[in-house]
Amino acid sequence: MIFQDRISLVTGASQGIGECIARELAGEGATVVLVDVQKAKLETVARAIVEAGGRADVYEADVTQSAHAAAVIAAVLKSRGRIDHLVNNAGITRDNLLLRMKEEEWDAVIGVNLKGVFNFTKAVIRSMISARYGRIVNLSSVVGLMGNAGQTNYAASKAGLIGFTKALARETASRNVTVNCVAPGYIATSMTTSLPEAVKKWFIDIIPMGRFGEPADVARAVRFLCSDDAAYITGQVINVNGGMYM
Residues involved in catalysis: 154
Closest CA to 75 of 62, 65, 60, 90: 60
Question: What separation in angstroms does the CA of 66 have from each of 121, 163, 182, 230?
Answer: 10, 20, 24, 29
Question: What separation in angstroms does the CA of 76 have from each of 56, 58, 69, 82?
Answer: 12, 10, 11, 7
CA distance 225 to 57: 22
DSSP structure string for 17-44: HHHHHHHHHHHTTPEEEEEES-HHHHHH
Query: Across the strands, what pairs with 228?
Result: none
- Cα of 94 vs its chain's centroid, Å: 18
CA distance 79 to 76: 5
Residues near 244 by beta carbon (within 8 Å), at least 6 away in sequence: 142, 146, 185, 186, 203, 206, 207, 208
3-state SS, residue 167: helix
- Contact, 8 vs 1, CB < 8 A? no
